[in-house]
Amino acid sequence: MIRRLHRGAVVVGALFLLALPAAAEEASRDSDDVEMIPVRNEAEAPDFPAPPAEAAPLDEIVVTGQRLQRSLADTTASVGVVDREAIARSSAYDARDLLTGFGNVVGGGDNRPIAIRGVPQDGIGGEGDTISVYLDGVALPPRAASFAGPYSTWDLDQVEVLRGAQSTNRGRNSLAGSVLLRTREPTPYWDLRARAARDNLDGHDYAVAGGGPLGDALRFRIAAQDRYDRGDIYNVTRNEDDAGRRGSRNARFKLSFLPASLPGYEASLGVTLADNEFGDNLHDASQGERTATANERYDERYLSRIYSLRQRLPLAGAWRLEAVTGAFSGDNDRFSDFDRSEEEGGISRFDIEEQLLSQELRLHFDGESVRAVVGAYVADDERFDRNSGENIPAGGGVAMISGTVDSLRETRTAALFAEADWDFAAHWRLTAGLRLNHEKNRHRAASELDLTLTAPVPGLDLPIGVPLPDAASDLLAEAFPDLVPPDYEESGERRFTDLLPKLGLSWRPHPDRNLSLTYSEGYRSGGTSISFFGGEVSEFDPETTRTLELAARSRWLQRRLSVNANVFYTRWRDQQVTVGDPTSFYTTTANAGRSELYGAEVETLARLPWTLEASASLGLLHSEFEDFVNEGEDFAGNEFPFSPDVSASLGLRAAPLSWLRARIGLRYVDGYFSDPSNDADTAIDARTLLNASVDFDLPRGLLLTLYGRNLTDDTNLQAQFVSDGRPARRYGESRLVGARLEWQWQ
């Protein structure tokens, strides 16, 4: 299936190239309009400019995460944007650290997955992601998107988080929002930058990036990074201080083709390789905060490869054609102590292979009163999981299990979409969008388990201490189905066609004031659920959300102050929930929920006299299950997991001298629960994180930065539950301080 789509993508790309000569004859845009995505001129805005004598107007930011690219002032969706300069001066470990600086965006477990508006990346139960992630226009498959993908901030150009359903815009896996990462484009001049950093967690960060022209039509850029720290989790059983280690090795290559013979045409080929290493992010904390007791060393690696080809071709008049071809493959290998305790509780190996191929075509029209885009998207996504275990206790200690559980998920998606802005009267704009999405998914799973009795079973004459033959294992599973899981082989196939609308009305009485009201629908597709142990099969249908959102955009003080606000109300129906104990291996998925959520996000940025810059972000949220019963336990009235009532951040940047800059940031997250049960064992206290950094410009293009994160050393607990009487916890980062030296030439 992957090969078939791959051939189709190649054919589409070839047809696009063949269309160039004819289209070039009609191209009417001048040769200056060659950038695929508007970016600021690097030659005029280096990373570390000298502070201006007086406050300058705020830069115009283009939001690229929507099919119709708009400025932030014209975007009605609730968007958080981190631009190139902010990324360059940040001490964030990866892009997820940047995202959690916005209201109603919360880190969920060692800041690996995130939650937007109280909806975790893997959903509130159910299957499939709710937040889509894109790198240079290419979608990342679920495991990479929610956990181990190429999130390095080195040489990124812009990071965007779109809060609220983006299903009309992005399709599947976008019910809660979208994240878009964009790397820097090759430049028409030569440049080079490098970095070396060390921190108190025995961490290092070595990176280099640069590129330039290869003649009149070709430009290239290469970026590479090696980053590592040992983490802050101590394993008391193994006497190891790197139980929570993390490492990342990334390499990116971009090649741009801008032929003078085809004015306005641009092709950009991108390759990204990422090799990420992790320690455990779930710990038995019975020996104290930030401790682990596992007697086996946890080891996990995720290797990802991303290939993208983006093309843009001006057509006659106001028309242009764009194409994005993407391919992703990822391999995840994990070895862990099954019970994560000091006892001999068995070991587990978890292997994942992810592949995704996609092709998108977009036809744009940019008229005086109408801007529109129509397009088509196809994708083929495959994920194979193999979980193997050895000597895992079962049946209350009566037996030990060894064997494998295999799972294969295949998803084919095809969509037609359209969106238009119509300025139908002075100061008024109508926005309409529609997506017709068809999906076919298949889930196959099989287990092959071997049992070894460790104690006699009354009524059954079976040997002790030796693996049982298959017939005897089946007999034991039949006699005690709740204690010993049987072998199984199950599958299911579903098809869904959904129509996803969006409609908005905007009023702009002043060039710097914009008020809009938008209705949109979100969805997450249905499928077939197969419980990990036992093989119980349940089919579930799509879940949908309906959202009404009011957005206000304003700029003040000669555009030195911006205030952006969104207020939303969402109804969620046919909600996919996990049925069964979420800490067990006997869960299935059902449409057993109905809920509501409402709240607001406000972001403000101000450039002040004396080279000061201040920013603030506020998220207010209320979430509540209206109908959710899990094995007799009624969750109605409970709040969503990872949905704090308040999340906020404050930032201040000062440049008192031409060679000195300082930044301080404060992040607050109110208390919440990490499970829909809202049990006391899952309650998370509020946290306040303080970050700061100081830059010193040195001679010969050098920059020295001293930085600290979580300087108050907040416990930064992000999730917890109790398993077999032991506390299991996930933490964010503890206190970290470091120094970084950078060099730039251009």
Tokens 């300087």, residue?
711
- Between residues 581 and 308, which one has the greater pLDDT? 308
Q: What is the pTM of this model?
A: 0.89
Are 358 and 12 in contact by the 8 Å Cβ rule? The answer is no
Q: How confident is the model at residue 44 (pLDDT cuts 50, 70, 90)?
A: very low
Tokens 């109110």, residue?
670
Residue range 388-421, pLDDT digits in tens: 999 888 766 777 889 999 999 999 999 999 999 9
Average pLDDT value for residue range 116-129: 87
3-state percent breakdown (helix, strand, coil) of the chain, nearest 5: 10, 55, 35
Distance CA 43, CA 55 (A): 21
Let me know the angle formed at the C-alpha of 197 by 194 and 202, rounded to the nearest 5 degrees.
145
397-406, 645-654, 729-738: least confidently modelled range: 397-406
Determine the pLDDT at residue 351: 95
The amino acid at 592:
A
- Residue 176 pairs with which residues in a beta bridge? none
Determine the pLDDT at residue 533: 87
Q: How confident is the model at residue 578 (pLDDT cuts 50, 70, 90)?
A: confident
Token pair belonging to 308: 């993208």
Name residues whose C-beta falls within 8 Å of residue 137's C-beta, 6 or more positions apart in sequence. 308, 310, 324, 326, 360
Average pLDDT value for residue range 445-463: 80
Q: Where are the beta strands (DSSP E) in 395-487?
A: 399-425, 428-453
Residue 19 has pLDDT above 60, yes or no: no
| CA 718 to centroid of chain Cα atoms | 17
Residue 39 has pLDDT above 60, yes or no: no
Number of H helices, E strands in the chain: 7, 42
- Residue 386 pairs with which residues in a beta bridge? 351, 406
Residue range 652-676, pLDDT digits in tens: 999 988 899 999 999 999 999 999 9
Determine the pLDDT at residue 449: 87
Average pLDDT value for residue range 695-701: 95
Longest dimension (CA), the chain: 89
Token pair belonging to 64: 């690229």
246-260, 392-406, 533-547, 607-621: least confidently modelled range: 392-406
Determine the pLDDT at residue 108: 77
Residue 476: how many CB atoms within 10 A of its CB? 23
Residue 692 has pLDDT above 90, yes or no: yes
The amino acid at 613:
E
Q: Is the dihedral of CA 336, 339, 340, 346 positive or negative?
A: negative
Question: Where is 20: in which H helix or E strand?
Answer: helix 20-26
Please tell me what DSSP assigns to residue 145.
I
Average pLDDT value for residue range 501-522: 96
32-41, 65-74, 104-113: least confidently modelled range: 32-41
Residue 591 has pLDDT above 70, yes or no: yes
Q: Is the dihedral of CA 463, 466, 470, 475 positive or negative?
A: positive
Name which of 532, 673, 635 is nearest 589 in CA terms: 532
Q: What's the order of all strands across the beta sheet hosting 726-731?
A: 283-284, 726-731, 717-723
Is domain 2-745 annotated with CATH 2.60.40.420?
Answer: no
Q: Domain ranges in the chain?
A: 2-745
Mean pLDDT, rounded, of the chain? 88
Mapping DSSP to helix (H, G, I), strand (E, B) and coil, where does residue 336 land? strand
Residue 423 has pLDDT above 60, yes or no: yes
Which of 95-109, 382-396, 698-712 has the largest mean confidence?
Answer: 698-712
Residue 3 has pLDDT above 60, yes or no: no
Name which of 329, 158, 150 is nearest 253 in CA terms: 150
Distance CA 696, CA 9 (A): 49
Mapping DSSP to helix (H, G, I), strand (E, B) and coil, where does residue 541 land? coil
Distance in Å from the first CA to the final CA of the chain:
46
Mapping DSSP to helix (H, G, I), strand (E, B) and coil, where does residue 147 land? helix
Strand-pair category, 204-213 with 156-163: unpaired
Q: Is the dihedral of CA 208, 209, 214, 220 positive or negative?
A: positive
Please tell me what DSSP assigns to residue 169.
H
Let me know the angle formed at the C-alpha of 59 by 746 and 187, rounded to the nearest 5 degrees.
30
SS (H, E, C) 420-439: EEEEEECCEEEEEEEEEEEE
Determine the pLDDT at residue 588: 87
Name residues whose C-beta falls within 8 Å of residue 704's C-beta, 6 or more positions apart in sequence. 695, 696, 698, 739, 740, 741
**b/e string for 39-60 if b means 16 or more Cβ within 10 A?**
beebeeeeeeeebeeebeebee
Determine the pLDDT at residue 460: 67
Please tell me what DSSP assigns to residue 460.
B
Residue 641: how many CB atoms within 10 A of its CB? 25
